[in-house]
Amino acid sequence: MIPNYWQEFLKYLRSTDFSKAMVLTVAIGSPVGIFIWLGNFEIGTVLAMGALLSSPSDIPGSFRHRNIGVIIAASLAGIVSVIMAYASAYLWLVLPLLGLLMFGIAYLAVYGFRASLVAFAGLFAIVLSFANISTEILPWERGLLITGGGLWYLLLSNLWTSINPKHHTEQLLAECLELTAKYLKTRAHLLTETAEREKLQKELFLLQSDLNEKHESLRNLLITARRASGNSNYARKRLLIFIELVDILELAMANPVDYKKMDEVLGEDRELLERFKKLIKKIAFQLDEISVIIEKKKESSTKEIREYLRGIEENFKEVRMLISSENTEKAFLLQNLFDYLEKQGQKINTIVRVLHNLDTREPGLLKNKEVSQFITPQDYDPKLLVENFNFGSPIFKHSLRLAIVVLIGFSIGLYFSFENAYWIILTIVVIMRPNYGLTKDRSKQRIVGTLIGAVIALGIVFVIKNQVVYGILGLFSLTLAFSLLQRNYRTAAVFITLSIIFIYSLLKSDVFNVIQFRVIDTILGAGLAALGNLLLWPAWESQHIKSVIKESISANKKYLEEIDNFYHEKGTLPTSYKLSRKKAFLEMGNLSASFQRMTQEPKFKQKELGQLYKIVGLNQTFLSALASLGTFIQNHKTTAASKNFEIFVSHICTNLENAKKGLEDTQELKDLDPARTEKAASALLKTYKKLLAERENQLKEEPENDQRDVQLRLQEAQLVSSQVQWLLEISENLQKTIAKTKFS
């Protein structure tokens, strides 16, 4: 049995982060080595700098977008380097130019994530222009070499991608499977660990946010790859697996919904819930196993998975026998939970069949021309620059804040004549983020990582006095630093510090002095970044969490309307339904992430945190109840929707509209007719009791006959009536909670 830590290490070595770091290390090391051999170290260094500056913009996407992004990043870095090189002779020009360039380049982030990384290349180039690495190369030559270094990195990156084109897709899909398994395990614990439910619910918020990001990345990657490769078997299989994963998440959210009610109904009888918990964990374990198979590309290793699938089926048989045949609320609650879990088992089986070419169906997602609606396009209209040029835009405030803090850091370095003072502004550029919480967190991690790296470097330098060893350790540390940036920033900071110290030790004999200034500059830069976010137009989550809540409520309302329409019309699940479901999940993830960021902010800005947590929880519960209702209607033959059902839906939608208006500080709320809803609830209960009586009569008169039809109608009546009443209760609580909350 391989130890877990060793498995994690092997997994890390197989990761795209590590392979990308290796490509970057080669792109940096090769020109330096070649030009040292040719006797021109400076040219190799500038080419290596160009590769380093361009690499952050190399993120997953279409071949065209990736290449354009890196080319623009390389060109921007080259142009900025030329400008700063010519301006450096005039101090009166450097300061205003530094501020303007910092603001202007950072402001490009209004065009999305890829644009922000392209902008980072320009910001990084500004910082490194103060390093004065080359003294004999002319500014325009330096700019061309930096651009050339970026293109050299792009060439190597494309070469690696052509050798291993499926690597990133496999990695992302495996991570999504693993994260989904973790989500299922957490929900399994919610069944029985009543005292830990609040803590587990918070974990679910974070997991759902991570899953939404993974789903969005996979959706864009797989659909783009599908378009590029046509009807390839690989693209079809991966897209089918992704579709099943989205369905698994929806099913997971639908089970169970009302924990309080479940506790009341089951009382002290916890044996069945323990069995259900065990069953969910078995299903989650299968997802973990499949993720390993995909990551390691061991498509033929299926014996264990098939054995576990058979084990799951045996568990299903045991649970099915334990569920009472009585027509009680307890029996129906357990039956509904059982049905959903059985569906999860079927989803796992479908994924296994897809992996082994036993499922030849075509993804329904690609049968229509509306597939582009599932990809979130990036708008590159120049009007965005004008629209965001105000203090209402977080990017505008961040860009202005960054420019001011960089100018302060640069001025401090000049005034006190710090050695390598550009390390101060480098730290600011790397750490500073639009929101305070993330900036504070990265500042702490950077300082701790730098201190640890400095201590390790001191120990090594004190013991070893060999330049060759320093060079090897510097290159090794650089590779690890690049590969860990997205995984563990603190550890990455340790290796960044080590690589810088070892590289400088090759250039300067006084290594201890380098370590000293590295620590001082990092602490100063991190402190300025955190202070800047605190004092200069801070973007507190409390200032715009209302709009995030509103978007989540609107998305839930649209999802409910689509479920209502499908209940009436049935047939093939429409694209509008899938889009509304996607939107509801994404907005819920955004709300969870926004609340999480708020908890990282200063205590004096965490007003009404308890109320906001309640609002987030109610939105999450509402979405889970919607998923439960929608999944049941999709997977069961149902009767025609009644007028009473419509009354409930109308009332729920009105409550949601009133909740949104409560966020807008308006008193113009829509009137409700509680008596009409009570009458509808009474009618639904009457229908349920009528079916219950019919079922009992049939059991008495014809006990040997199959009563499946009446049983299904009874199950539908019980679930639909309980779910709409539950949704109504949640919507009412949401409206009341929002009304009581004082948003800052």
Looking at residue 327, what is its pLDDT? 46
What is the tens place of the pLDDT at every residue in 304-325? 555 555 655 565 555 555 554 4
Distance between CA atoms of residues 730 and 734, nearest Å: 6
Q: pLDDT tens, 157-187?
A: 989 888 877 777 888 888 888 888 888 888 8
Q: Region 246-271: what's the mean pLDDT?
A: 67
Q: Degrees (nearest 5) of the Cα angle 578, 292, 176?
A: 25
Residue of 510, 519, 419, 518 lying closest to 461 (CA atoms): 510
* Spatial CB neighbours of 283, under 8 Å, sequence gap ≥ 6: 184, 312, 341, 344, 345, 348
Higher pLDDT, 221 or 640: 221
- Of residues 400 and 194, which shows the higher confidence score? 400
The number of C-alpha atoms within 13 Å of 173 and in the hemisphere containing its C-beta is 30
In the predicted model, is pLDDT for residue 704 greater than 70? no
Cα separation, 202 vs 188, in Å, equals 14
Domains with residue ranges and CATH for the chain: 1-164 (no CATH), 167-374 (1.20.58.220), 390-539 (no CATH), 547-740 (1.20.58)
Question: How high is the pLDDT of residue 483?
Answer: 81
CA–CA distance, 310 with 323 (Å, rounded to integer): 20
Identify the pLDDT of residue 152: 94
pLDDT, residue 221, reads 76
Alpha helices in 230-302 (DSSP H): 233-253, 259-266, 271-296
Answer whether 590's CB lies under 8 Å from 551's CB. yes
Position 379, amino acid: D
Give the total residue count for the chain: 744
For residue 200, the SS3 value is helix
Which pLDDT score, from 0 to 100, does residue 713 have? Answer: 58
Residues 269-289, mean pLDDT to the nearest whole number: 76
pLDDT attached to residue 58: 84
Average pLDDT over residues 433-444: 82
Q: What is the reported pLDDT for 76?
A: 93
pLDDT of 300 strictly over 50: no
CA 71, CA 58: separation in Å to the nearest integer? 10
pLDDT at 15: 76
Rounded Cα distance, 310 and 463, in Å: 59
CA angle 323, 329, 330 (to 5 degrees): 40
CA 556 distance to own-chain centroid:
20
Least confident of 16-20, 60-64, 124-128, 270-274: 270-274
Cβ contact 520:450 at 8 Å: no
Residue 258 pLDDT level (bands cut at 50, 70, 90):
low
- Report CA-CA distances (Å) from 240 to 27, 218, 359, 374, 584: 36, 12, 9, 15, 21
Under the banding of pLDDT at 50, 70 and 90, the label for residue 718 is: low
Residue predicted with more confidence, 300 or 579: 579
* pLDDT at res. 723: 76
Residue 121 has pLDDT above 80, yes or no: yes
pLDDT given for residue 455 in this prediction: 87
Interatomic CA distance for residues 317 and 326, integer angstroms:
18
Mean of pLDDT values over 107-133: 84
Mean pLDDT of the chain: 76
The band of 744, judged by pLDDT with boundaries at 50, 70 and 90, is: low
Rounded Cα distance between 646 and 623, Å, is 19
Whether the pLDDT of residue 475 is over 50: the answer is: yes
Distances in Å between the alpha carbon of 589 and those of 211, 383, 549?
8, 28, 11
Q: Concatenate the DSSP letters of all residues of 460-511 into one string.
A: HHHH---HHHHHHHHHHHHHHHHHHTTT-HHHHHHHHHHHHHHHHHHH-S-H
Q: Residues 6 or more apart from 311 whose CB is under 8 A from it?
A: 282
521 near 496, Cβ under 8 Å? no
Q: Highest-confidence range of 5-9, 14-18, 395-399, by mean pLDDT?
A: 395-399
Report which residue type is found at 422. Y
Contact 337, 276 (CB under 8 A): yes
Q: Is the pLDDT at 37 greater than 60, yes or no? A: yes
Q: What pLDDT is stored for residue 381 in this prediction?
A: 73
Handedness of CA 527, 532, 538, 539 (dihedral sign): negative
Looking at 91-95, 400-404, 417-421, which range is the least confident one? 417-421
Which residues, 6+ apart, have CB-to-CB distance to 48 below 8 Å?
27, 28, 29, 31, 32, 149
CA dist 355 to 171, 175, 300, Å?
15, 16, 9
**Digit-coded pLDDT (tens) for 651-676:** 788 888 888 888 776 555 555 555 55
Q: Determine the average pLDDT of the residues in 629-650.
A: 72
Q: What percent of the chain has pLDDT over 70?
A: 75
What HEC string does 4-58 produce? HHHHHHHHHHHCHHHHHHHHHHHHHHHHHHHHHHCCCHHHHHHHHHHHHHHHHHC
Q: What is the pLDDT of residues 359-417, one digit of tens each?
A: 555 554 444 455 555 556 566 778 888 888 888 788 899 899 999 999 999 888 888 77
Most confident of 145-159, 298-312, 521-535, 685-699: 145-159
3 state SS for 61-123: CCHHHHHHHHHHHHHHHHHHHHHHHHHCCCHHHHHHHHHHHHHHHHHHHHHCHHHHHHHHHHH
Q: Check pLDDT > 70 for residue 486.
A: yes
> How many Cβ atoms from other residues are within 10 Å of residue 502's Cβ?
25
Check if the beta carbon of residue 39 is closer than 8 Å to that of residue 59: no
Task: Point out the least confidently predicted range of 164-168, 314-318, 576-580, 679-683.
Answer: 679-683
